[in-house]
Amino acid sequence: MFLALESVNFIMSKSFHDFVIDPDVGVMTILKKDHPVIEMGKSLLEAMKIMRENNTGCLPVCKDGKPVGIFTEHDILHHVINEKISTDCIIDDHMVPIKGMVTTNETIGTLIHKMAHMHYRHYCVVNPETGMLEGVVSVRGILRFLAEHFPEEILNQPPNKTRYSDTVEGG
């Protein structure tokens, strides 16, 4: 899905740990390049339409092709629904300014570390020389990619016998 077929044999021969820190298998491997964006100055309604039409939960907000913020489903719930903000307002005032980005030459391990540290589910990936948006990566995309290439390590983990529930679930 994300990789060229000739890369699959190379990846499958590596251990999971080596894979996520390998500079040859970087962020570009899982990048969603065709992710929709919105330019600053557009309305919240336009942003929500783009998100709905493209079935996405986040939208990078760009100025001259460079990401300056991100608008997510959480922002819709918080600003539009809870605060009852008009959808005619411009997105600039309701986006979350980007505090960190990932460059195209970083490893998947670096990306995972940044996402965990910053508590972000989506990261904009930029060209290190130009600062232009190359695409977006998401936690869901990372998990899907890793599960696809390491199904035994990801999907077949035995239950933890030391973990138990304090309450009974179900009927």
Residue 95: count of CB within 10 angstroms of its CB? 22
Quick one: which of 39, 9, 40 has its CA closest to 25? Answer: 9
pLDDT of res. 16: 65
Taking a C-beta distance cutoff of 8 angstroms, is the pair 17, 40 a contact? no
150, two tokens: 């390491």
**SS3 category, 148:** helix
50, two tokens: 């783009």
Domain with residues 12-150, CATH architecture: Roll (3.10)
pLDDT of res. 168: 67
Strand partners of residue 138: 122
Mean pLDDT, consecutive 10-residue segments, the chain of 171 residues? 41 62 78 90 96 94 95 89 87 91 89 88 93 92 83 67 64 53
The residues, ordered by sequence, that sit 6+ positions from 105 with a Cβ below 8 Å of its Cβ are 23, 26, 27, 128
Q: Where are the beta strands (DSSP E) in the chain?
A: 38-39, 58-63, 66-72, 96-97, 102-103, 122-126, 133-138
Q: What are the sequence ranges of the domains in the chain?
A: 12-150
23: amino acid identity, one letter? P
